[in-house]
Amino acid sequence: MRILFCGDIVGRSGREAILTYLPRLKTELALDFIIANGENSAHGFGITKTICHELFAAGVDVITSGNHIWDQREIMSYIDQEKRLLRPINYPATAPGKGFIITTSTSGKKVLVINAMARLFMDPLDDPFAAIDALLKQYPLKSAVAATILDFHGEATSEKMSMGHFCDGRASLVVGSHSHIPTADAQIFPGGTAYHTDAGMCGDYNSVIGMDKAAPIHRFTKKLPGERLIPANGPGTFSGTFVEVAETGLAVRVAAVIQGPRLRNLLPECE
């Protein structure tokens, strides 16, 4: 089974990058399943019902999120209706929505998608390790699901890598989101779990992590409140993570995927 995780979608440029590159990637990589982190897709902050529909229509099967999931208030009611939109599993149980879904790929195989948020330099949520451990024990690879993908939304690379090793042998892919910068460490751990510290973003890389450069530079140089951050609106680049999963549910191949005008393009070869 071939699965693509699309990094954080930032604003209109990120959405346009999805619409531009995803149809071709779906064909060229012979994808069975597509996940995208959409928490910055609505002008950089949150996601809306309309954008969810746009992403699903573009071929995305599940949308994950993170600390900006509640920025658009309309999502609080919508997320209970749309099970394919996830919020981090370690939010309190009283929060709307769910942190995981078991759904079916185009090839008819069950896929478990988990969304969790790290805690270092992030909101003080419940323990993500305990929440994920319980879920992996409840839905083991091969016997319960054909693949398990974890989007671990976090700031610290050490916490992300710790989660990857914690899940080794029990998940198909542990991929990080949130930092908006693609890392060069896509690998398969000894137990067979694919890992990538951060998939990067889908957005304008002529920016400060997807945002127009002026306001962040003002904040860093003046140490004063400035204008509200707004997404950069130049041509978008697609960044993501590709994983190929064997019948065991473990990974046989993982690679970064980058397509667009700013970064060095990367595309795994597929027969």
Helix (H) or strand (E) holding 27: helix 11-28
Evaluate the CA torsion angle 55, 257, 182, 188 in order and state its sign: positive
Contact 40, 232 (CB under 8 A): no
The whole-chain average pLDDT of the chain stands at 96
Query: Of all residues in the chain, what percent carry a pLDDT higher than 70?
Result: 100
Maximum CA pair distance of the chain?
57
Give the dihedral of Cα atoms 160, 182, 269, 151; nearest 10 deg. 40
**In the chain, what are the domain boundaries?**
2-207+234-259
> What does the DSSP 8-state code read for residue 84?
T
For the stretch 22-59, pLDDT in tens is 999 999 999 999 999 999 999 999 999 999 999 999 99
Question: Which residues pair with residue 251 across a beta bridge?
Answer: 245
Q: Which CATH architecture has domain 2-207+234-259?
A: 4-Layer Sandwich (3.60)
For the stretch 168-221, pLDDT in tens is 999 999 999 999 999 999 999 999 999 999 999 999 999 999 999 999 999 999
Any idea which residues carry the catalytic annotation?
68
Task: Let me know if 250 is exposed, middle or buried by CB neighbors in 10 A (0-12, 13-18, 19+).
Answer: buried
> What does the DSSP 8-state code read for residue 139?
S
Six-digit token string for 98: 């769910």
State the pLDDT at residue 118.
Answer: 98
Question: Sorting pLDDT into bands at 50, 70 and 90, what band is 271?
Answer: low
Cβ-based neighbour number of residue 137 at 10 Å:
9
Contact 119, 128 (CB under 8 A): yes
For the stretch 108-136, pLDDT in tens is 999 999 999 999 999 999 999 999 999 99
